[in-house]
Structure 1
Amino acid sequence: MFAMKLHTREQAPKEGKAEEPKQPAEPFAPTQSDYLQFLVDSKEVYMALEDIVNGNDKLAPFRNSGLERTGALEHDINWMATEFGLERPQCGRAGTTYAEDLRQMIKSDDDIPAFVCHFYNFYFAHMAGGRMIGKQMSKLLLDGEDLEFYKWDENVNELKSRNKEAIENFASSWTREERDRCVNETPNTFKGGGSLNGYLFGGSPH
């Protein structure tokens, strides 16, 4: 499957062709403020993804996909700020930069394959490793509370399967050059997503 090539070898041992993201050298202990910043920056990126999909008719197959996260993130940001007496921060450099990169990405139809790579990797990473991160942060920082960010309105595996099929169908008419353009964008998706994860594992400036 084409979509599976956007995974790393660790994620998909047989089909994965994407470069593995670099791991931090030293352990990092995040605070509640770090986690709140991560949520705020994440919302900025998800908002950009949703705005682009809703504003481009060529991307209509990805509207109302069930993957959308901005509503859940807004709930969680407000809950954390209230529950732990934290001030809601402005979006940091990581979220602002990645969201702006996404918004500037699509200048013409030729740019759609690269965008689809970001769409796929950012959403699906959250549904895989992101859920494990959520469990870690819940135990470490939230007294075991589960955030709405990590909940969906349907079975996660069914949601993933349906959206993978949508991507496969969408890309079925692409030329080899367009498919390569999509796959070759994968390192940039790890760079963007990794900059946000830096709030939790070290590396991102506030």
Structure 2
Amino acid sequence: MWILKIHRTAAKEEEDDDSDEETWKPSVEGFVKYLVDSQFVFDTIERIVDQSDDVAYAYFRNTGLEQAGGVSKDLEWFSGQGVVIPEPSTPGVSYAKYLEELAERSASLFLSHFYNIYFSHIVGGQVIAKQVCVRESVCMLCFIIFFHSNHRFIDE
């Protein structure tokens, strides 16, 4: 519950802030950065789960939730459209390293991140992709590739 209290306090402080700071605006470049970091994290998670001898990870192999391959195809598509694909960001690399360390210490803590990452990216990725496709007038093919080739269980 303490996290909710912090979130509410931070949200209230943002509402009270009268600054003219620019709000987040979706862009293809920002979406591609999100995909690059996501792929790096998914590659790390999937490698940990596939290579671990810990029986706790065995149940999370080949679940259909795997994302790295689909995100890789998405990045290839964007590259084919002339979008420059950057290297993973420092926060993405740091988080992947943290997950590796966590996986060695505690399967249950790592699997909590596994669950949160996969399901938050499914939902959050949809919202971000829709905003980028609409705002940037990007061909809806990017949306189709990202959500239908990779997320077979999502009906739209």
Q: Tell me if both proteins adopt one fold, taking TM over 0.5 as the criterion.
A: yes
Q: Give deviations 1:86-119, integer Å, cap 9, x for gaps.
A: 22211111211111111111224xx011001100
Please say if residues 134 and 150 of structure 1, whose CA atoms lie closer than 8 Å, have aligned partners that are also in contact.
Answer: no
Runs of 4+ in 1 over 3 A off after TM superposition: 17-23
Give 5+ residue unaligned stretches, structure 2. 15-21
1:75 and 1:124, CA in 2 relative to 1: closer, same or farther beyond 3 A? same
1:75 aligns with 2:70: no
Counterpart in the other structure of 1:95: 92
What amino acid sits opposite 1:54 in the alignment?
D
Q: CA RMSD in A?
A: 2.4
What amino acid sits opposite 2:42 in the alignment?
Y
What amino acid sits opposite 1:126 in the alignment?
H
1:107 alignment partner, SS class = helix
Counterpart in the other structure of 1:126: 121
Distance (Å, rounded) in 1 between the aligned partners of 2:2 and 2:59? 24
Counterpart in the other structure of 1:104: 101
Distance (Å, rounded) in 1 between the aligned partners of 2:25 and 2:151? 32
2:95 alignment partner, SS class = helix
Task: State the Cα distance separating 1:153 from its structure 2 match.
Answer: 5.7
Q: How many residues align?
A: 137
Give 5+ residue unaligned stretches, structure 1. 1-16, 158-206
Percent identity of paired positions between Structure 1 and Structure 2: 30
Counterpart in the other structure of 2:47: 51
**Larger relative contact order (CA 8 Å, sep ≥ 6):** 1
Q: Give deviations 1:68-98, integer Å, cap 9, x for gaps.
A: 1111111111111221x22221111121111
1:129 and 1:19, CA in 2 relative to 1: closer, same or farther beyond 3 A? farther
